[in-house]
């Protein structure tokens, strides 16, 4: 019933910038946390940023100062503005959301299909 769709992944040069977007749709009453995690081959999954419905944000140490997360609650969309990109940022980036469905009293986690970000010369 809930779908998350990411967009914006691309090939960029080191030092470049990129903005990822993720839109949630379906039977949604509310979304507490929306954020991003990434997965690179041979590496552990890493949550890079999250934003609550109240406006609080958190970042992984590896991206603090370079990435900015933001939300448009009316559009049920979360963004990740990435700057000063490094080769080690290369990964598939997944959007996630902690969602209360329209008929539920509890929240459930959802995630999207991912979008590829490659940082290379």
Instruction: Give per-residue pLDDT as tens, 68-112.
Output: 999 999 999 999 999 999 999 999 999 999 999 988 899 999 999
The model's pLDDT over 18-75, given as tens digits with 9 standing for 90+, comes to 999 999 999 999 999 999 999 999 999 999 999 999 999 999 999 999 999 999 999 9
For residue 103, what pLDDT is reported?
A: 87
Residues in CB range of 13: below 8 A, 6 or more apart: 85, 119, 120, 121
The Cα–Cα gap between 82 and 59 comes to 12
Q: Is residue 60 packed enough to be buried (19+ CB in 10 Å), middle (13-18) or exposed (0-12)?
A: middle
pLDDT at residue 1 above 90?
no
């Amino acid at each position: 019933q809930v779908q998350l769709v990411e967009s914006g992944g691309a090939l960029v040069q080191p030092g470049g910038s990129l903005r990822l977007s993720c839109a949630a749709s379906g039977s949604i009453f509310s979304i507490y946390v929306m954020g991003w995690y990434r997965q690179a081959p041979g590496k552990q999954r890493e949550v890079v940023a999250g934003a609550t419905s109240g406006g609080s944000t958190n970042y992984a140490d590896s991206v603090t100062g370079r990435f900015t997360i933001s939300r448009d609650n009316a559009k049920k969309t979360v963004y990740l503005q990435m700057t000063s990109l490094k080769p080690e940022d290369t990964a598939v980036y997944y959007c996630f959301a902690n969602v209360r469905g329209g008929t539920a009293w509890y929240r459930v986690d959802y995630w999207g299909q991912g979008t590829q970000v490659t940082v290379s010369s």
